[in-house]
């Protein structure tokens, strides 16, 4: 279904832009400007649906990253690293604000135990950070830093990237 929506969307966008499209035995087109605009917009909607691009991502400005907030089931360990030492972690309470109405440029990182960390960065992926004091470490790998959290605690660690 996605391929059909994508194909139809591209055809409608082309009709909107150039007025006429010929593909094998199919010919679609119009000279009416208003109809071309409407068909082009419908084509864009079809392409968005086919590619499953969240609408909010299309409206966001480049300075305000909109990164989907992971749910606990989205954590997929992809590597194992050495265990961090106690001195590297600090105790920090979970973010209790509204993640749907957070400060501009920030994201809420949600870990599998429900702990939330508000940071000014953009999430790339999740990795497994090993263990610390018998607690599993989940790592939110972002562009500016890695954000480590000891599951079941309020201990966190920010590791800036060089």
Does the model's pTM come out above 0.85? no
* 101 is a domain residue: yes
What pLDDT does residue 74 have? 41
Number of domains in the chain: 2
Which of the pair, 143 or 48, is modelled with greater confidence? Answer: 143
* 67 is a domain residue: no
Range of the domain at 38: 2-53
Same domain, 79 and 47: no
* 39 is a domain residue: yes
- Residue 160 tokens, joined: 């800036």
- The per-residue pLDDT for range 80-128, each reduced to its tens digit, is 344 454 458 899 999 999 999 999 999 999 999 999 999 999 999 999 8
What pLDDT does residue 79 have? 37
Under DSSP, the state recorded for 85 is: P
* 156 is a domain residue: yes
What pLDDT does residue 126 have? 93
- The per-residue pLDDT for range 11-37, each reduced to its tens digit, is 666 666 777 666 666 666 777 778 777
- Residue 127 tokens, joined: 């990795």
Same domain, 96 and 155: yes
Closest-CA residue to 148 (of 82, 74, 68, 67): 82
| Average pLDDT of every residue of the chain | 75
* 136 is a domain residue: yes
- Residue 23 tokens, joined: 């593909």
- Residue 50 tokens, joined: 């086919």
């Amino acid at each position: 279904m996605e391929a059909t929506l994508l194909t139809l969307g591209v055809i409608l966008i082309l009709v909107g832009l150039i007025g006429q499209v010929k593909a094998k035995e199919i010919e679609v087109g119009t000279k009416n400007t208003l109809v071309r605009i409407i068909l082009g917009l419908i084509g864009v909607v079809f392409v968005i649906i086919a590619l499953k691009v969240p609408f909010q991502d299309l409206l966001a400005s480049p300075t305000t990253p909109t990164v989907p907030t992971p749910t606990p089931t989205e954590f997929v360990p992809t590597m194992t690293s050495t265990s961090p030492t106690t001195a590297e972690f600090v105790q920090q309470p979970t973010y209790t604000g509204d993640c749907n109405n957070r400060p501009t440029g920030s994201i809420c990182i949600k870990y599998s135990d429900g702990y939330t960390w508000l940071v000014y960065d953009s999430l790339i992926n999740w990795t497994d950070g090993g263990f610390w004091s018998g607690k599993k470490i989940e790592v939110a790998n972002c562009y500016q830093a890695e954000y480590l959290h000891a599951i079941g605690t309020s201990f966190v660690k920010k590791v800036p990237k060089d």
